[in-house]
Amino acid sequence: MSDALTTKIAPLEELGSYGKYEAGPFAPGYGVTLGNALRRVLLGSLEGAAVTAVQIDGVMQEFSSLPGVREDVVQILLNVKKIRLRSFAKERIELTLSKKGAGPVTAGDIKPNGQIEIVNPELVLATLDSDKAAIEATLVVETGVGYVSSDRVDADPEGEVRPRGVMSVDAIFTPVRKVNFTVENTRVGQDVDREKLILEIETDGTITPEAAVRKAAAILVSQFTAFSGLGEVPAAAPAAEAGGNLLDVSIEDLDLPMRAYNALKRAGILKVRQLLTALDGGEMELLKLRNFGQKSLNEVREKLVERGFDVPESSIPADAIFDEDESDADDEEKA
């Protein structure tokens, strides 16, 4: 194609959960086409975690109140919906909330769990008005995509209706809050009718805007391969073939267990390229990291293989025995 364009994407602004990116140049019409597709996937197809059900001691249904608690149960449930979570597990997880004494009850009062990270621990869920007031609750956390209303999550994974006293909550799984895009004209050589796409993304803090764009693009690529005549190819399969760029993605995108992720992060291993280099003959050094034992090493290798990376063969003797320094207490560390 004689007028083929070399398209590039670059960050214009990145600040916490906000990111603004410029991509182009594109042929006329492609800016809107790609912008719409990315926006839809970003808002509705990225996986996230959310509270789907709550059980509060002494409460049988949502139209109730608790003695010594300023908010009614409906308001508490609305506040619970705002908890933003990063899950390192695919299975359903139960969290425990326990607080006694006057003062605010926040998301940070939820008992730590090695598989769940609370991104907004400062969120106020309720207010206790007296020193004798108390609240005890169990929160069910699940992973999913998009938005699922409470009437669709009334049944548990086995299809049984939730027991009396367990209140379903509208689940906001999507980790992306807002997406906006604009298309502007740009010039390439003598061509003045080319387009560039300006993409703005705001996430809930459980994922970076850059990671969100990469995951959305991977989803679109995996869907479009069905039309390419090349057969069905898993979205992660091109990782080993697509060149150096994918080696520079963050280890955050590997969805590693929290223990392994934290250990690697503390050691300054932040990119897949660094991780693969460390695995190439340096596994013994990795095993010296705090809270990084043989189990974590195996989990890391499995995640890399799942995403299509060419993982070096293990250099550790099969009969080697290691002391697993991976206690449950260490699971509760946060990145």
* Residue pLDDT, tens place only, 26-61: 999 999 999 999 999 999 999 999 999 999 999 988
Where does the pLDDT of residue 202 fall: very low under 50, low under 70, confident under 90, or very high at 90 and above?
very high
Instruction: Domain 8-46+176-235: give its CATH code.
Output: 3.30.1360.10
Whether residue 255 has pLDDT greater than 70: yes
Q: Which two tokens stand for residue 155?
A: 């049944």
Helix (H, G, I), strand (E, B) or coil at 236: coil
Q: Which residues pair with 18 in a beta bridge?
A: 15, 202
pLDDT of residue 154: 53
Q: What is the pLDDT of residues 137-196, one digit of tens each?
A: 999 999 999 888 877 655 555 555 566 779 999 999 999 999 999 999 998 877 888 999
DSSP per position, 18-87: EEEEEEEEE-TTHHHHHHHHHHHHHHHT-EEEEEEEEEETT-SSSS---TTBSS-HHHHHHHHTT--EEE
164: left (phi over 0), alpha (psi -120 to 50) or beta: beta
pLDDT one-digit tens code per residue, 295-331: 888 888 888 888 778 787 776 655 554 554 444 444 4
Architecture in CATH for domain 49-172: Beta Complex (2.170)
Tokens of 290: 């705090």
Give the pLDDT band of residue 239 (cuts 50, 70, 90): very low
- On whether the CB atoms of residues 208 and 247 are closer than 8 A, the answer is no
- Residues with Cβ < 8 Å from 46, sequence gap 6 or more? 145, 174, 175, 176, 207, 212, 215, 216, 219
Q: What is the mean pLDDT of residues 241-246?
A: 50
Domain segments of the chain as ranges = 8-46+176-235, 49-172, 252-331
Give CATH for domain 252-331. Answer: 1.10.150.20
Give yes or no for a contact between 85 and 49, defined as CB atoms under 8 angstroms apart: yes
Instruction: Return the bridge partners of 185, or none.
Output: 195
pLDDT at 152: 66
Looking at residue 237, its pLDDT comes to 43
Question: b vs e for 59-96, b when ≥16 Cβ sit within 10 Å of the residue's Cβ?
Answer: beebeeebebbebebeebbebbeebbbbbbbeeebebe
**Does position 8 have pLDDT exceeding 70, yes or no?**
yes
CA–CA separation, 300 and 311 (whole Å) = 10
pTM: 0.65
Across the strands, what pairs with 327?
none
What one-letter code names the amino acid at 190? Q
Task: Indicate the pLDDT class of residue 201, thresholds 50, 70 and 90.
Answer: very high
Please tell me which of 86-90, 169-173, 289-293 the model is most confident about, judged by mean pLDDT: 169-173
Question: How high is the pLDDT of residue 241?
Answer: 43
How far, CA to CA in Å, does 44 sit from each of 39, 48, 146, 152?
8, 10, 5, 17
pLDDT at 232: 47
Return phi, psi of residue 113, to 5°. -135, 135
pLDDT of res. 62: 86
**pLDDT exceeds 60 at position 101:** yes
